[in-house]
Chains A and B, each alone.
Chain A
Amino acid sequence: MSDSAEGTRTLVIERTFAHSPEKLWRALTEGQLVAQWLMNNDFEPVVGRRFQFRADPVPNWNGVIDCEVLVVDPLKQLSYSWGAFGLGTVVLFTLTPAEDGTQLRMEHSGFGADQDAAYKGANYGWQKFLGALESVVAELE
């Protein structure tokens, strides 16, 4: 997590996979493979390409994430915009060869800390976070 000058926040997740950059790149850029770990999509690795991820609709959310491909640097970097719940954010994957595989760094940036975003999150989060409430409350006791 970091704070940028514009007052937005970035989520960073890194993991090293025991696989080659070539294989990881395929999993990140072949729509059918992407669907198997991320979401159904009509993605194509072409800069400027607009596409959608589609999840199962939940109350207050139609399950659509509107995206546009921003960066395609084979075996190195892939980036697309990620528009959902009224939030315009950006996802950036960076692949780095590691000793025993490939490190994948995912940066999801552009989260504002403003009330409006949080409110939309509240709308979206219903099913999920209400479902998780019991356990959270149990922890509070």
Chain B
Amino acid sequence: MVQIVKSANANPVFRALADPTRRAIFEELTRAGEQTVHALTRYAGVSQPAVSKHLMVLKRAKLVRHRRAGRETHYRAQADALAPMVDWLNLYGAFWRERFDRLETLLERMD
């Protein structure tokens, strides 16, 4: 189980990404780069007002940025907003503890 550092800064990010649709939108922006609200609506499979609402939440958490071009609004992911969430020591701590469990099981099985 991966542990995540809980800091005051991280909470809006957690909350924004707790919703599966928002998470999908954010992942899509991370994968595919900047996109219009229209394109995201097609991708997300929900109504455009719903997508706009989700984008507002992501924007408040500083996970996305937007720019207007003509009648279209383009959104892009701000992946560094995730930085406060990641702590290598915690990630590897969980990793090694789990591996030590497996090592213990292996030692039991060895002759």
Residues 111 to 128 of chain A near chain B (Cβ within 8 Å): 111, 115, 117-119, 121-123, 125-126, 128
8 contacts between A and B (CB under 8 A): A24-B107, A37-B103, A38-B99, A119-B82, A121-B86, A122-B79, A126-B27, A140-B14
> Would you call B107 and A27 a contact (CB within 8 A)?
yes
- Contact residues in A for B79 (Cβ distance below 8 Å): 119, 122-123
- Interface residues of B, Cβ cutoff 8 Å to A: 1-2, 4, 6, 11, 14-15, 17-18, 23, 27, 31, 79-80, 82-89, 91-93, 96-97, 99-100, 102-107, 110
Count of interface residues, chain A, beta-carbon cutoff 8 Å = 39
Tell me if A13 is interfacial: C-beta within 8 Å of chain B: yes
> Would you call B86 and A136 a contact (CB within 8 A)?
no
Question: Taking chain B's interface residues, is the majority helix, strand, or loop, or is none over half, making it mixed?
Answer: helix
> Would you call A118 and B18 a contact (CB within 8 A)?
no
With known contacts A11-B93, A37-B102, A38-B99, A133–B86 Cβ distance under 8 A: no
Contact of A23 among B31, B100, B107 (CB under 8 A): B107
> Would you call A27 and B110 a contact (CB within 8 A)?
yes
**Chain A nearest Cβ from B98, distance in angstroms:** 10
> Would you call B89 and A122 a contact (CB within 8 A)?
no
Question: Taking chain A's interface residues, is the majority helix, strand, or loop, or is none over half, making it mixed?
Answer: helix
> Would you call A136 and B4 a contact (CB within 8 A)?
yes
- Contact residues in B for A104 (Cβ distance below 8 Å): 100, 103
The residue on B at minimum CB distance from A134 is: B18
CA distance A121 to B87 in the complex (A): 8
- Interface residues of A, Cβ cutoff 8 Å to B: 1, 9, 11, 13, 15, 17, 19, 23-24, 26-27, 33, 36-38, 59, 87, 104, 106, 108, 111, 115, 117-119, 121-123, 125-126, 128-130, 132-134, 136-137, 140
> Would you call A26 and B110 a contact (CB within 8 A)?
yes
CA distance A11 to B82 in the complex (A): 22
> Would you call A108 and B96 a contact (CB within 8 A)?
yes
